Structure 1
């Protein structure tokens, strides 16, 4: 009888050990998958926010180049070619903003991105010099405000 009890205890112990091992392995696997998913999302956000910030800076530069070309501040610059360049760069900025909208859950970040696009768009060639300077400063600040807000969404604690 003692052999049977010992065998039953051994079998029950083995089963309990197997169940515990299975439970902890499954939990560890779920934790690892969740971590990988969160890290991929973080990397995608970094990429999207960086691409959008870069697209805004490029569009802003092109808008300013166009303004200076029209106001005869840049020799040899073709305002018409710069106009088409700003169209192309605005399209790039809008595409990058769409990507931001897809990877973020922050309404504030989407609105800051739209505000930055709008302020860069206001760098129109028909602005007076003082108004151009104010708009240029505002657009720079709006871009940096977006980047600062975006940084909070990719920081790891």
Structure 2
């Protein structure tokens, strides 16, 4: 009888230990899955934001040429398109804000949007080229900073 009781207790103890290990393993897997999902969402958000900035920048350059080139005229369509592109960039920025816990990255994202927004605000072709260069570097700096959060 005592041997039987010991066998039953041993079985119960073994089942309890096995259950504990399985539960820990499941919790680790769930944590990893959540972390990987967040990582992927961040990659998507950061890429979408950088892409929206590039599109916004391109539209502003088109506006500049439409305004300054004698053969072309800035159209309402170009102006409205630039507003749409800015809205898309801001929407993408909001997603970045929601997915990152790094205030410095959010600050850099806002600064980059501001730099891009200034691209077309000149009448000088040389200044336009400089603003394009600076905005391209700002976008690349944002991407480099964001990369540290997904690696």
1:51 corresponds to: 48
**Deviation per CA, 1:65-119, whole angstroms, max 9, x where unpaired?**
111111117x556432111110000000000000000000111211111111000
| More displaced stretch, 5-14 vs 57-66 | 5-14
TM-align CA RMSD:
1.4
Residue 56 of structure 1 and its aligned partner are, at CA, apart by: 0.2
Aligned with residue 18 of structure 2, among 10, 16, 21: 21
Partners of 2:110 and 2:92 in 1: how far apart?
A: 11
Question: Normalising by the residue count of structure 2, what TM-score does the alignment of the two structures yield?
Answer: 0.94
Equivalent residues, number: 151
2:39 corresponds to: 42
2:65–2:72 contact (8 Å) kept in structure 1? no
Unaligned residue ranges in structure 2 (runs of 5+): none
Unaligned residue ranges in structure 1 (runs of 5+): none
1:66–1:125 contact (8 Å) kept in structure 2? no
Question: Normalising by the residue count of structure 1, what TM-score does the alignment of the two structures yield?
Answer: 0.90
2:103 corresponds to: 107
Aligned with residue 78 of structure 2, among 76, 82, 88: 82
